[in-house]
Chain A
Protein backbone atom coordinates (compact mmCIF):
# COMPACT_ATOMS: atom_id res chain seq x y z
CA UNK A 1 0.00 0.00 0.00
CA UNK A 2 0.92 3.64 -0.24
CA UNK A 3 2.05 5.42 2.87
CA UNK A 4 3.25 8.84 3.98
CA UNK A 5 4.77 9.16 7.47
CA UNK A 6 5.42 12.37 9.34
CA UNK A 7 5.57 13.16 13.07
CA UNK A 8 2.23 13.98 14.65
CA UNK A 9 3.42 16.98 16.64
CA UNK A 10 6.57 19.05 17.18
CA UNK A 11 7.40 21.94 19.48
CA UNK A 12 9.98 24.66 18.80
CA UNK A 13 10.99 28.03 20.16
CA UNK A 14 10.42 31.38 18.48
CA UNK A 15 13.53 32.41 16.52
CA UNK A 16 14.88 28.86 16.29
CA UNK A 17 15.08 26.37 13.41
CA UNK A 18 12.91 23.27 13.04
CA UNK A 19 13.04 20.36 10.59
CA UNK A 20 9.90 18.38 9.79
CA UNK A 21 10.57 14.99 8.21
CA UNK A 22 8.44 13.06 5.77
CA UNK A 23 9.05 9.52 4.52
CA UNK A 24 7.01 7.93 1.79
CA UNK A 25 6.28 4.66 0.06
CA UNK A 26 4.20 5.14 -3.05
CA UNK A 27 3.46 3.55 -6.40
CA UNK A 28 5.72 5.73 -8.49
CA UNK A 29 6.78 9.30 -7.86
CA UNK A 30 5.86 12.48 -9.68
CA UNK A 31 6.74 15.11 -7.13
CA UNK A 32 6.42 15.95 -3.46
CA UNK A 33 4.51 18.89 -2.02
CA UNK A 34 4.49 20.66 1.32
CA UNK A 35 1.42 22.60 2.43
CA UNK A 36 0.78 24.74 5.48
CA UNK A 37 -2.60 24.63 7.21
CA UNK A 38 -3.54 26.96 10.05
CA UNK A 39 -6.23 25.69 12.39
CA UNK A 40 -9.68 26.03 10.85
CA UNK A 41 -8.31 27.17 7.51
CA UNK A 42 -7.53 25.70 4.10
CA UNK A 43 -4.14 24.22 3.21
CA UNK A 44 -1.87 26.60 1.30
CA UNK A 45 1.03 25.63 -0.96
CA UNK A 46 4.57 25.99 0.40
CA UNK A 47 6.93 24.03 -1.84
CA UNK A 48 7.36 21.44 -4.54
CA UNK A 49 10.27 19.04 -5.13
CA UNK A 50 10.59 16.67 -8.05
CA UNK A 51 14.39 16.37 -8.27
CA UNK A 52 16.81 15.50 -5.49
CA UNK A 53 18.19 18.40 -3.54
CA UNK A 54 17.24 21.51 -1.66
CA UNK A 55 14.71 24.12 -2.73
CA UNK A 56 14.92 27.37 -0.79
CA UNK A 57 12.17 29.94 -0.54
CA UNK A 58 12.78 32.65 2.03
CA UNK A 59 12.68 31.23 5.56
CA UNK A 60 11.41 27.88 4.27
CA UNK A 61 13.45 25.18 2.51
CA UNK A 62 12.47 21.72 1.35
CA UNK A 63 14.77 18.79 0.64
CA UNK A 64 14.15 15.61 -1.33
CA UNK A 65 15.97 12.28 -1.64
CA UNK A 66 14.08 10.02 -4.02
CA UNK A 67 16.35 7.04 -3.42
CA UNK A 68 15.57 7.18 0.32
CA UNK A 69 11.90 8.09 -0.06
CA UNK A 70 12.56 11.05 2.22
CA UNK A 71 11.90 14.75 2.40
CA UNK A 72 12.14 17.43 5.03
CA UNK A 73 10.80 20.93 5.45
CA UNK A 74 13.17 23.34 7.21
CA UNK A 75 11.77 26.45 8.84
CA UNK A 76 14.25 29.11 9.97
CA UNK A 77 13.82 32.14 12.25
CA UNK A 78 10.56 30.76 13.56
CA UNK A 79 7.73 33.17 14.17
CA UNK A 80 4.58 32.67 16.21
CA UNK A 81 2.55 32.76 12.99
CA UNK A 82 4.36 29.58 11.87
CA UNK A 83 2.26 27.64 14.38
CA UNK A 84 0.26 25.43 12.03
CA UNK A 85 0.04 21.95 10.62
CA UNK A 86 2.43 21.04 7.82
CA UNK A 87 1.20 18.50 5.29
CA UNK A 88 3.43 16.34 3.11
CA UNK A 89 1.94 14.92 -0.09
CA UNK A 90 3.38 12.76 -2.86
CA UNK A 91 2.05 12.54 -6.41
CA UNK A 92 2.06 8.89 -7.49
CA UNK A 93 2.37 7.25 -10.90
CA UNK A 94 -1.32 7.98 -11.62
CA UNK A 95 -0.79 11.65 -10.74
CA UNK A 96 -2.95 11.28 -7.64
CA UNK A 97 -1.82 13.00 -4.45
CA UNK A 98 -1.21 10.81 -1.41
CA UNK A 99 -1.33 12.87 1.79
CA UNK A 100 0.34 12.45 5.15
CA UNK A 101 -1.71 13.11 8.28
CA UNK A 102 0.23 16.31 8.92
CA UNK A 103 2.62 17.57 11.59
CA UNK A 104 1.24 20.05 14.10
CA UNK A 105 3.98 22.58 14.88
CA UNK A 106 3.69 24.47 18.16
CA UNK A 107 5.87 27.57 18.55
CA UNK A 108 6.64 28.74 22.07
CA UNK A 109 7.89 32.23 22.97
Chain B
Protein backbone atom coordinates (compact mmCIF):
# COMPACT_ATOMS: atom_id res chain seq x y z
CA UNK B 1 0.00 0.00 0.00
CA UNK B 2 1.48 3.33 -1.06
CA UNK B 3 2.00 5.94 1.59
CA UNK B 4 4.28 7.11 4.36
CA UNK B 5 5.81 4.84 6.97
CA UNK B 6 7.11 6.15 10.28
CA UNK B 7 9.13 4.30 12.91
CA UNK B 8 9.03 3.81 15.77
CA UNK B 9 5.31 4.13 16.52
CA UNK B 10 6.04 4.89 20.13
CA UNK B 11 9.18 5.39 22.20
CA UNK B 12 10.11 6.30 25.75
CA UNK B 13 13.48 7.98 25.94
CA UNK B 14 15.74 9.19 28.75
CA UNK B 15 16.68 12.87 28.64
CA UNK B 16 20.06 13.45 27.03
CA UNK B 17 19.81 10.45 24.69
CA UNK B 18 20.01 10.72 20.93
CA UNK B 19 17.00 9.58 18.93
CA UNK B 20 16.22 9.28 15.22
CA UNK B 21 12.66 9.07 13.95
CA UNK B 22 12.48 7.42 10.55
CA UNK B 23 10.18 8.39 7.70
CA UNK B 24 9.91 6.73 4.30
CA UNK B 25 7.48 7.46 1.48
CA UNK B 26 6.87 5.56 -1.74
CA UNK B 27 4.80 8.15 -3.60
CA UNK B 28 7.84 9.85 -5.17
CA UNK B 29 6.79 13.15 -3.65
CA UNK B 30 9.36 15.94 -3.82
CA UNK B 31 8.40 17.74 -0.62
CA UNK B 32 8.58 16.24 2.87
CA UNK B 33 7.88 17.69 6.28
CA UNK B 34 8.21 16.99 9.99
CA UNK B 35 5.57 18.34 12.36
CA UNK B 36 4.99 18.03 16.07
CA UNK B 37 1.51 18.02 17.54
CA UNK B 38 0.86 19.02 21.14
CA UNK B 39 -2.46 19.21 22.95
CA UNK B 40 -4.20 22.54 22.37
CA UNK B 41 -1.76 23.66 19.70
CA UNK B 42 -1.86 23.41 15.94
CA UNK B 43 0.61 21.31 14.04
CA UNK B 44 3.98 23.04 14.16
CA UNK B 45 6.53 22.63 11.41
CA UNK B 46 9.98 21.51 12.58
CA UNK B 47 11.89 21.07 9.32
CA UNK B 48 11.01 20.58 5.69
CA UNK B 49 12.60 19.54 2.42
CA UNK B 50 11.37 20.75 -0.96
CA UNK B 51 13.49 18.24 -2.85
CA UNK B 52 16.20 15.66 -2.27
CA UNK B 53 19.44 17.28 -1.14
CA UNK B 54 17.81 20.39 0.36
CA UNK B 55 16.32 21.10 3.78
CA UNK B 56 14.88 24.12 5.55
CA UNK B 57 13.95 25.21 9.06
CA UNK B 58 10.36 25.49 10.11
CA UNK B 59 8.71 27.21 13.04
CA UNK B 60 10.33 25.14 15.84
CA UNK B 61 13.67 23.73 14.57
CA UNK B 62 15.82 24.03 17.71
CA UNK B 63 17.05 20.71 19.04
CA UNK B 64 16.21 18.86 15.82
CA UNK B 65 18.07 18.07 12.63
CA UNK B 66 17.09 16.41 9.35
CA UNK B 67 18.71 15.07 6.21
CA UNK B 68 17.34 14.28 2.76
CA UNK B 69 19.84 12.04 0.98
CA UNK B 70 17.22 10.69 -1.44
CA UNK B 71 13.59 11.24 -2.44
CA UNK B 72 12.10 8.55 -0.20
CA UNK B 73 13.71 9.05 3.22
CA UNK B 74 13.54 11.99 5.61
CA UNK B 75 14.82 11.10 9.11
CA UNK B 76 14.45 13.46 12.07
CA UNK B 77 17.16 13.41 14.75
CA UNK B 78 17.02 14.69 18.31
CA UNK B 79 20.68 15.09 19.25
CA UNK B 80 20.09 15.29 23.01
CA UNK B 81 16.46 14.81 23.97
CA UNK B 82 14.78 17.06 26.54
CA UNK B 83 11.37 16.61 28.24
CA UNK B 84 9.86 19.50 26.23
CA UNK B 85 10.32 17.36 23.14
CA UNK B 86 7.68 14.96 24.41
CA UNK B 87 5.12 15.07 21.63
CA UNK B 88 3.54 13.26 18.72
CA UNK B 89 5.62 13.64 15.59
CA UNK B 90 4.12 13.43 12.13
CA UNK B 91 6.00 13.08 8.90
CA UNK B 92 4.19 14.27 5.76
CA UNK B 93 4.82 14.58 2.06
CA UNK B 94 3.32 16.46 -0.87
CA UNK B 95 3.71 16.50 -4.62
CA UNK B 96 5.30 19.93 -4.78
CA UNK B 97 4.92 22.79 -2.32
CA UNK B 98 1.32 23.55 -3.34
CA UNK B 99 -0.22 20.11 -3.06
CA UNK B 100 -2.16 18.49 -0.26
CA UNK B 101 -0.18 16.81 2.48
CA UNK B 102 -0.19 13.08 3.11
CA UNK B 103 0.68 12.12 6.68
CA UNK B 104 2.33 9.14 8.29
CA UNK B 105 0.69 7.48 11.28
CA UNK B 106 2.79 9.41 13.77
CA UNK B 107 5.50 8.64 16.32
CA UNK B 108 4.63 9.21 19.97
CA UNK B 109 7.77 10.21 21.84
CA UNK B 110 8.05 10.56 25.60
CA UNK B 111 11.22 12.05 27.07
CA UNK B 112 11.72 11.45 30.78
Binding site for B on A (CB under 8 A): 4, 30-31, 33, 35, 41-45, 48, 87, 89, 91, 95-102
Contacts and interface: CB of A to CB of B under 8 A. Distances in A.
B34 interface: no
B27 interface: no
A33 to B, nearest CB: 7
B111 interface: no
Interface string B74-109: 000000000000000010000001101111111000
A100 B42 CA distance: 5
- Interface of B: prevailing SS: loop
Nearest to A91: B98
Contacts, number: 44
A87 B98 contact: no
Interface of B: 40-45, 48, 58, 90, 97-98, 100-106
A36 to B, nearest CB: 11
B71 to A, nearest CB: 19
- Interface of A: prevailing SS: strand
Contacts of A96: 45, 48, 58
A42 B45 contact: no
A9 B20 CA distance: 34
Contacts of A89: 42-43
A41 B88 CA distance: 10
B59 to A, nearest CB: 8
B42 A87 contact: yes
